[in-house]
Chains A and B, each alone.
Chain A
Amino acid sequence: MTTCEKGELMEPLLELKGISKSFPGVQALDDINLDLYPGEVHVLIGENGAGKSTLMKIISGAYQSDEGTMEVDGKQITKNSPIISEQLGIGMIYQELNLIPELSVAKNIFLGHPIKKGFVNQDKKMIQKSREMLKQLNMDVDPSVLVKTLGVGTQQMIEITKALSREANILVFDEPTSSLADAEIHNLFHVIRMLQEKGIGMFYISHRLEEIFEIGDRVTILRDGKKIQTTAVKDINMDQLIEKIAGRKIENLYPHTRKTPGKPLLQINNLSGRAFKNVSLHVDAGEIVGMSGLVGAGRTEVARAAFGIDKYFSGEVILNDKKLKKCSPRESVKHGFCLLPENRKTEGLALPRDVSENMLISALDQTFSFKIGSFGVVDPKKESAIVSQYISSLKIATPTARKLTQFLSGGTQQKVVLAKWLVSKCKVFIFDEPTRGIDVGAKSEIYKLMDTLVEGGAAILMISSDLSEILGMSDRIYVMCHGEINGEFDADEATQSGILQLAFGQKGKEADENEQQE
């Protein structure tokens, strides 16, 4: 076990000794030791199901550990609960935003511990105090506005403010960046460094490995509920990290090689909708096109509108030289055009239904033993033949086709969504944040599948907030900003800073010229 240099001088803020926790049938955590020092960012990393979240839930008091002890400031905590951990100065910032959209910023910040006089809330005092706290984090937000009017990045900052408002000196970040774009991440890191200087200790969970090197002091790797190693970040490199996380060697995370592009399969011309305008782009056969931009720049909205979920005001979507007449997902699917949505669990799958049903839902006609019009009867033999074919070809990790998708891991779920579209013989794919919340091992499998698809002549538009993914996988890259396409790169010319500049709203070359003319 390596110890941080700082640690030798100070008492740990928090110490976990021999923590074990099991759920029916699963040993989630097995004898974990962990410590956190003031002013340190301690990164926890591991595949999904490695036990990171369970560990953090034990720290926050949402779960009770079966064995082991927890010490905060040298004092042993016998009984923990969300309320006790809060009193101990532990603040949690979760992956999903937990703010209440219909409440004001100030009310959200003080949710669960309002400033009161007797029974009555002191609204003015809370607004004033929120303003002060937000200012400390360099945030210029009016604390009396409703949270629903704010962007995702701002909301994440409010989550942090919320945790700090409880005078936390231990913060736990559970994938805080999964819904943030790079620019917002920079802002977040800036804040984290400020907090570091104040002596606050932080646990930081992330699937984005490059973040670890940017922000982490120490890193602990977990696998299958066991601690593999704790080490100073500077003592480890990316490849070693990946190997330790996966427990095996992953040669190349981004396997994609450039193919010779064929004719354009997807063309979007001058599409304007609620959150975007005049978007034109094309994706050719054999091409993976990346789409980058800040969260809220309108990327997902373009994808949704093109696929037919939302109505667009003007413009056209052309698939394989045929214009889509109706704006509906059904029409798109008929033309071999599909969308893998960013929220797998709510938009991609029906979790209470099994793998087979999910996989076949858009291609039921292939399983019919007979049909009258659109009404057909599903033949169970055909059904199981198709499903088992895709389960094996995509290596979907499920014991049977009848397993409910809610019991599958994130990567497996994403494969089921992909299989659904492969069954429907789709050729044009929009992947919206394809690897969000998916661990490294599964990520590389998804990337391999994407590469195989374009090998077979498919066209892929990949929306991602992960710049390294964009740079690693794309042949061409569009950058969106404020609802418009702000520029385009060839993958060979693209750089991280170049993309960021465009994403932040600095005009691309063409736009610059236009502006000069005006």
Chain B
Amino acid sequence: MNSRNKSFRFSSLPSSTYIFVILLVLFSITVPNFFTPANFSTILEQAGVLVLISIGASFPIMTGGIDLAAGSVISLCGICMGVFLHNGIPDYIAVIGGVLVGTLFGFCNGYLVHKIKVPPFITTFGTMGIAESLANFFSDSRTIYWKENTNVHLIRALKTDLLEIWFGNGNSKLFSISGIVLFIFLVVAASIFIFNKTSWKENIYAIGHNIESARLCGIKVLKFSIGAYAISGCMSGIAAILILVRSNCATPIMGSGMEFQAIVAATIGGNVAEGGKGSIPGSIIGAFAIFIIRNAVNYLGLNSFVSMIITGITLLLGMVINELIAAQDLRKGGVRV
């Protein structure tokens, strides 16, 4: 019966922290223009999409599943929002409508996985194609844009810089917080709060650990297991808002490939496929770790294929570090009585 003292332990950090810190230090030293306030504000804004869908991806992973449809759901949501806006529907309704579409789509995924019992990989592999088709269908495979009219207050508000710090004679922006960054911050804070402070964490862990015993504990299993996919869909919807605002249009391929980046970020963040554990901050830091690679590679002006190699190797390295730290922790664990 060894009640542990609460002293700091490396292994209690989200596992993506190590690779993130290593990359951060490495890039700060070697990459010009990387360690600057302006770049940090850029990263904060740009990484938002990946951060949000990584949070979304961690929920199904924690229940022992996976959501491969996240990327194409972004496209679908974005296209829905775009079509709404194109038809002059006020932007807040359009945006809410798009997020609802994503949530509904996620709900359907969850329903298939947990009610009809189709394995999650297959379900979301299939619905990935379905979402992609729908996005193409609704947009007629074209970029959707809309008139800059009075209906886009919200979008305009998100675009404005809320805080700007200028340097010198006012020619170089040192640091800025735009509406988007604030929005991202709010969503992230809300999701961490909901996950840790309401019953989501323990219920999702319980479901991921053993769904049958969770049911016997009196947990509303279906609500939370389907909910996990719905959250993933919802996050895809919110991520679509970000892309929409940033690019002022919606394309049917705007989210393609992002599910993989999100899953990788979540996995580096300690959300492993066995389920029953994981953390939201881990995914967030994982997303930033992946993102700063791209950022640094762009500054270095490297070819995109060199950046592919670097990304791949970093991924493997990150997983190896996670593994080593976990092994170290296990060794220290000693006899359990």
Which of the candidate stretches B1-9, B26-34, B108-116 sits at the interface with the other chain? B1-9
Name the interface residues of B207-228: CB closer than 8 Å to any CB of A: 209-210, 213-220
Chain B contacts of A24 at CB under 8 A?
none
Which residues of the partner chain A approach B213 to less than 8 Å between Cβ atoms?
94, 96, 98
What is the CB-to-nearest-CB distance from B330 to chain A, in angstroms, rounded to a whole number?
A: 8
The CB with the most chain B CB atoms within 10 A, among A98, A145, A154, is that of A98
Which 6 residue pairs of A and B lie closest in terms of their CB atoms, listed nearest first?
Answer: A98-B213, A102-B277, A112-B218, A112-B217, A142-B3, A86-B218
Q: Given contacts A119-B198, A140-B1, A150-B1, is CB(A296)–CB(B336) below 8 Å? A: yes
The digit string for A213-228, where 1 denotes a CB below 8 A from any CB of B, is 0000000000000000
Which A residue sits closest to B62, measured CB to CB? A102
Q: How far is the CA of A5 from the CA of B203 in the complex (A)?
A: 43
Query: Are A275 and B206 neighbours in the complex by a CB distance under 8 Å?
Result: no
B199 at the interface (CB under 8 A from A): yes
Q: Which of A127-184 contact B (CB under 8 A)?
A: 140-142, 145, 149-151, 154
Q: Are B337 and A151 in contact (CB under 8 A)?
A: yes
Question: Smallest CB–CB gap between A397 and chain B, Å?
Answer: 27
- Whether A275 and B334, one on each chain, are in contact in the complex, defined by CB atoms closer than 8 angstroms, is yes
Query: What is the bound-complex CA distance between A112 and B220, given in angstroms?
Result: 8
The reply to whether the CB of A498 lies closer than 8 angstroms to some CB of chain B is: no
Which A residues touch B198, using CB under 8 A?
116, 119-121
B320 to chain A: closest CB distance in Å? 19
Assembled-state Cα–Cα distance A116/B2 (Å):
29
Q: Is B147 an interface residue (CB 8 A)?
A: no
Task: Among A111, A116, A121, point to the contact of B217 (Cβ < 8 A).
Answer: A111
**B199 CB contacts on chain A under 8 angstroms:** 114, 116, 121
With a CB–CB cut-off of 8 A, which chain B residues contact A483?
A: 335
**CA of A194 to CA of B2, assembled, Å:** 25
Shortest C-beta distance, B212 to chain A (Å), equals 9
Q: Which of A111, A120, A121, A294 lies in contact with B206, CB distance below 8 A? A: A111
* Interface presence of B252 (CB below 8 A): no
The binding surface of chain A is classed by DSSP as loop
Q: Which residues of A contact B334 (CB under 8 A)?
A: 274-275
Min distance, Cβ B273 to any Cβ of chain A, angstroms: 15
Q: How far is the CA of A60 from the CA of B330 in the complex (A)?
A: 37
CB < 8 Å neighbour of B336 from A96, A113, A141, A151: A151
A100 at the interface (CB under 8 A from B): yes
- CB-defined contacts of A298 to chain B, threshold 8 Å: 335
A103 touches B202 (CB 8 A): yes
Contact among A60, A120, A482 for B216, CB-based, below 8 A? A60
Q: Which residues of A contact B335 (CB under 8 A)?
A: 275-276, 296, 298, 482-483
**Nearest opposing residue in chain A for B206, CB measure:** A100
Contact with A along B25-61 (1 / 0, CB 8 A): 0000000000000000000000000000000000000
Complexed CA–CA distance, A60 and B213 (Å): 12
Which A residues have a C-beta under 8 Å from some C-beta of B?
A: 60, 62, 82-83, 86, 92, 94, 96, 98, 100-103, 107-108, 111-114, 116, 119-121, 123, 140-142, 145, 149-151, 154, 274-276, 294, 296-298, 482-483
Q: Bound state CA distance, A498 and B261, in angstroms?
A: 60
> Which partner residue on chain B sits nearest A113 by CB separation?
B218
CB contacts (< 8 Å) of A140 on chain B: these are 1, 3
What residue of chain B has the Cβ atom nearest to residue A484's Cβ? B335
Which of chain A's residues have a CB closer than 8 A to the CB of B333? Answer: 149
What are some 9 contacts across the A-B interface (CB < 8 A)?
A98-B210, A98-B216, A98-B217, A102-B209, A103-B206, A112-B206, A123-B197, A140-B3, A151-B1
Inside 8 A of B203's CB, which chain A residues have their CB? 111-112
For residue B206, which residues in chain A have a CB less than 8 angstroms away from its CB?
100, 103, 111-112
Quick check: A111 and B202 within 8 Å, CB to CB? yes
Given A101-B209, A141-B1 in contact, is the A482-B218 Cβ separation under 8 Å?
no
B117 on interface, CB distance cutoff 8 Å: no
CB of B205 within 8 Å of the partner chain: yes
B276 near A: Cβ within 8 Å?
Answer: yes
Interface residues on B, range: 20 to 34
Contacts A86-B218, A298-B335, A482-B335 known; A102 to B1 CB distance under 8 Å? Answer: no
B197 (CB) vs chain A CBs: closest residue: A120
In the complex, A98 Cα to B218 Cα: how many Å? Answer: 12
Asked if A83 and B3 sit within 8 Å, CB to CB, the answer is: no
Closest residue of chain A to B193, judged by CB? A120
CB of B207, distance to nearest CB on chain A (Å): 10
A229 to chain B, nearest CB (A): 29
Tell me, in angstroms, the Cα distance from A151 to B331 when the chains sit together.
16
Chain A residues contacting B215 (CB-CB under 8 Å) are: 62, 82
Closest CB in chain B relative to A279 CB, distance in Å: 13
B218 to A83, Cβ gap below 8 A?
yes
Q: Establish whether residues B3 and A141, one from each chain, have CB atoms under 8 Å apart when the complex forms.
A: yes
Q: Are A114 and B202 in contact (CB under 8 A)?
A: yes
Given A102-B277, A120-B198, A151-B337, A82:B217 Cβ within 8 A: yes
- For the complex with contacts A92-B216, A276-B335, A294-B337, 8 further pairs of A-B residues with Cβ separation under 8 Å are A82-B216, A101-B276, A107-B202, A108-B202, A121-B197, A151-B1, A274-B334, A275-B335
The smallest beta-carbon distance between A309 and chain B, in angstroms, is 15
Q: How far is the CB of A422 from chain B (nearest CB, A)?
A: 34
Q: Kindly state the separation between the CA atoms of A342 and B292 in the bound complex, as whole angstroms.
A: 47
From B277, which residue of chain A is reached at the shortest CB distance? A102
Residue numbers in A under 8 Å from B220 (CB-CB)? 83
Chain A residues with CB under 8 Å of B336's CB are 149-151, 275, 296
Q: Which of A83, A92, A103, A114 interacts with B205 by CB under 8 Å?
A: A103
A313 → B minimal CB distance (Å): 10
B contact residues around A96 at 8 Å (CB): 213
Nearest CB on B from A64, distance (A): 14
- Complex: A355 Cα to B336 Cα, angstroms: 35
Is B1 within 8 A of A100, CB to CB? no
Cβ contacts B71-90/A at 8 Å (1 or 0 each) = 00000000000000000000
Measured CA separation A149–B202 after assembly (Å): 17
Q: How far is the CA of A367 from the CA of B265 in the complex (A)?
A: 47
A90, chain B: closest CB distance, angstroms:
11
* A100 and B3 contacting across the interface, CB-CB below 8 Å: no
Residues on A with C-beta less than 8 A from B209 are: 100-102
As a 0/1 sequence over residues 85 to 125 of chain B, the CB contacts with chain A under 8 angstroms (1 = contact) are 00000000000000000000000000000000000000000
Residues on the B chain within 8 Å of A111, using CB: 202-203, 206, 217, 219
Residue in chain B with minimal CB distance to A84: B218
Residues of chain A within 8 A of B205, CB atoms compared: 100, 102-103
Smallest CB separation, A91 vs chain B (Å) = 10
Chain B min CB distance to A143 (Å): 10
Q: How far is the CA of A107 from the CA of B201 in the complex (A)?
A: 10
Contact A296 B217 (CB under 8 A): no
What is the CA–CA distance of A123 and B196 in the complex, to the nearest angstrom?
A: 10
Q: Is the CB of B276 within 8 A of A102?
A: yes
In the complex, the answer to whether B1 meets A154 with C-beta atoms within 8 Å is yes
Distance to closest chain A CB from B276 (angstroms)? 6
Tell me the B117-174 residues at the A interface (CB within 8 Å): none
The interface residues of chain A lying within 8 Å CB-to-CB of B218 are: 82-83, 86, 112-113
Which residue of A101, A121, A123, A482 has the most chain B CB atoms within 10 A of its CB atom? A121
